[in-house]
Structure 1
């Protein structure tokens, strides 16, 4: 898979995950947000389970309290939503 296609795929998965667990609305609007999101994108890009992620997201279209255990951004999103 080409880099641009992979970036597009992972951005879509990460956005869906954030919306599914409520992290989008809970993101801290502070000076560190850009750096934090950049790190989250790198973690997502390094994940070897995008198919599992897409399947999990399809099964949780109505939302979920937490990410699946294998999500590399699970701790970050849980912290943002007060689930940590």
Structure 2
């Protein structure tokens, strides 16, 4: 994999994280947590290191709305905390 392929891959995984946060209704809550930039950066790193990009993309395409992310989601705990903070749980 060359550098350009890697950068495209990283960007695609970050886009999946953004889609997941929106799909689960926590995108706004993520923007207002304490130390927003660091929390978002760590969440993006977890997503970038995940090996389920194809499955995630398919899951996002197949679910118009969902209450929980798929079991393999590395941001599952963060999403649950954000949902709790937003009063969704």
State the TM-score, normalized to the length of structure 2.
0.83
Answer yes or no: is 1:12 the counterpart of 2:15. yes
1:77 matched to which residue of 2? 79
Query: Which whole-Å CA distance do the structure 1 matches of 2:33 and 2:59 have between them?
Result: 30
RMSD, matched Cα: 1.6
SS in 1 for 2:32: coil
**1:17-69: per-residue Cα shift (whole Å, max 9, x none)?**
00110110222524411111111111011100100000100111x21101001
SS in 2 for 1:27: helix
1:43–1:73 contact (8 Å) kept in structure 2 = yes
1:67 matched to which residue of 2? 69
State the TM-score, normalized to the length of structure 1.
0.88
Unpaired runs of 5+ residues, structure 1, are none
Query: Which whole-Å CA distance do the structure 1 matches of 2:41 and 2:31 have between them?
Result: 14
The count of residues paired between Structure 1 and Structure 2 equals 83
Q: Find runs of 4+ consecutive structure 1 residues off by over 6 angstroms.
A: none
Unpaired runs of 5+ residues, structure 2, are none
Larger Rg: 2
Query: Which whole-Å CA distance do the structure 2 matches of 1:69 and 1:79 have between them?
Result: 15
